[in-house]
Amino acid sequence: MVYPVQTQSPFVIEPDRVASPSLPLAGVEHPPATAEREKVSDTVRSLLDDQLLDQLVARMRSEGTRLTGPGGFLTEMLKAVLERGLAAELTDHLGYDKHDPAGNGSGNSRNGSTSKTLLTEVGPVPLDVPRDRAGTFTPQLVPKGERRLGGLSDIIISLYAGGMTVRDICHHLHRVYGSDLSPDTISTVTDAVLEEVKAWQTRPLDECYPVIFVDALMVKVRDGNAVRNKAAHLVVGVDTDGVKHVLGIWLQNSEGAKFWMQVFAELRNRGVRRVLIACCDGLEALPEAIETIWPYTIVQTCVVHLIRNSLKYASYTDRKKLATALRPLYTAVNADAAESALLELADSPLGRKYKAAIAVWERAWERFTPFLEFPPDLRKVIYTTNTIESLNFQLRKIIKNRGHFPTDDAVVKLLWLAICDIEDKRARAREADRGKPAGERTAPARLIEGSITTGWRSALAALDEFCQTRNLDPIH
């Protein structure tokens, strides 16, 4: 995988899927098409015939020559090619070949070379970069000040996105490629994506997201001489086509309604004027924060969270019974039927035994009942925040290897790269499965970005009907 810095990069477009340009895939670059690969292969074959290649391989094996690393075959080959290319560039710059009398009196000439070591994917390559006497030669093949060939930077960012720490990357590059890079250099390479992250964080958004999911995960960040827990706030929105998008990542000392209001205000400033349903985990004062920014939004407490919070009060032997007894509440046809089911459960021996479990539903009743106004197709979309929790689960797997982050920007940078990395890996797996029978496909679906909400057409029809009953403008 490679990650060139860019401001826009489209997602991999799959047949019958809606691709999203909102989250640039950090320079995801897929292998060239078959025709292009064949063209490159033909070019190489025209320069190196099979007999020559066989001789080279035989000599490498007989002399025990390494393929990569210091003194390796590919390292020396790359050195020869780059130095020949640099010499050709200088010839073009001067306008005459080496030792050509035409250069006499031209006002500029060759002036030896400067040694430098170029770090590459096959190991460090010592180069002799030619100079001109006037100092006007600017090489393009290996620019001045460049110490790394492009592919090495791509490898560094890919390893970083996969969860490796800066020092782990240093050790890995030294062990595999013989490259000696300092942790500061690694950080500088990964910081190259910060501008792209900022562009993504401030990009314009759609005017309407019928459904949004909000949640936060905790990370450790250095603050002066101490390491503190901070909350990384994430928002996932479902657009009018049913496509999911990560709308942004924000960091704050703790998860609280006051900061969430700042997040929602920023989303509004970026163009989000309408949100019909906001699904959250029941954080205190969060509904009020949402309604302050979008007054007509229905705030839906996650039903799965309510069930979990209820079951934690029950003994292990009674949890299955209590889960079964709670089912009539969230499958009720309307709020009245759900209230009757709750009263019946509260009067039962199980309800009297676990009054705290009943109280969980009573406290959240106002934010739970809106769920019951909708038909089953829409309930499937909004009954749980698993959409964003599955994302957070994958992100926790990436950040668990780190003791802490040096700055807030480092957190956002890694989370953004991790999302890109996860989606890219899944896209490659689906590409590998393409053409196989359905029963033999094992590739996972998209995690979040660009995925289609199941049953969205029916859910959208229900939302349009809901807008009509509330005298709201239709979604489209």
Reported as a single tens digit per residue, the pLDDT across 95-135 is 888 888 877 878 888 888 888 887 776 667 788 888 888 88
347-355: list long-range contacts, CB under 8 Å, 24+ apart.
350/318, 350/321, 350/322, 350/325, 351/325, 353/318, 354/310, 354/313, 354/314, 354/318, 354/322
Give the position of tokens 């994430």. 234
Residue 212's DSSP bridge partners are 237, 278
Query: Lowest-confidence range among 183-197, 252-266, 353-367?
Result: 183-197
Residue burial 124-163, b: 16+ Cβ < 10 Å; e: rest: bbebebbebeeeebebeebeeeeebbeebbbbbbbbbbbb
Higher-pLDDT residue of 27 and 436 is: 436
- Residue that the structure tokens 């920023």 belong to: 266
* Largest pairwise CA distance in the chain: 107
Q: Residue 210: helix, strand or coil by DSSP?
A: strand
Torsion of CA 427, 433, 437, 443, to 10 degrees: -60
3-state secondary structure of 301: strand
Tell me the three state secondary structure of residue 229.
strand
User: Of the candidates 94, 95, 97, 53, which has an alpha carbon nearest to the alpha carbon of residue 73?
Assistant: 53
107 close to 134: Cβ distance less than 8 angstroms: yes
The secondary element (H helix, E strand) that includes residue 283 is: none
Residues 217 and 234: beta-carbon distance below 8 Å: yes
Mean pLDDT for the stretch of residues 438-450: 86
Exposure class string for 257-267: b at 16+ Cβ within 10 A, else e: eebbbebbebb
- Give the residues across from 452 on adjacent strands: 243
* Residue whose C-alpha is closest to residue 466's, from 380, 382, 376, 374: 374
The angle that helices 150-161 and 408-433 make with each other, rounded to 10 degrees, is 100
Q: pTM here?
A: 0.69
**3-class SS at 213?**
strand
Q: What is the DSSP letter of 236?
A: E
pLDDT of 174 reads: 73
Burial of 105 (0-12, 13-18, 19+ CB in 10 A): exposed
Residue 13: φ, ψ to 5°: -95, 120
Please, what's the b/e burial string for 53-87 (b: 16 or more CB within 10 A of its CB; e: otherwise)?
eeeeeeeeeeeeeeebbeebbbbbebbeebbeebb
Query: Which helix H or strand E contains 181, and what residues bound it?
Result: none
Q: What is the mean pLDDT of residues 385-398?
A: 87
pLDDT for 92 beyond 50: yes
- pLDDT for 18 equals 35
CA angle 293, 298, 301 (to 5 degrees): 110
DSSP percent split of the chain into helix, strand, coil, nearest 5: 50, 15, 35
Q: Do 165 and 400 meet the contact criterion of CB atoms below 8 Å apart?
A: no
Q: What is the pLDDT of residue 21?
A: 38
Mean pLDDT of the chain: 81
The most confident of the ranges 61-65, 192-196, 279-283, 329-333 is 329-333
Q: Is the pLDDT of residue 60 over 80?
A: no
Axis crossing angle, helix 408-433 with helix 194-201, rounded to the nearest 10? 90
Residue 324 has pLDDT above 60, yes or no: yes
Q: pLDDT class for 34, splitting at 50, 70, 90?
A: low
Written as one string, the DSSP assignment of 53-92 is HHHHHHHHHHHT--SSSTT-HHHHHHHHHHHHHHHHHHHH
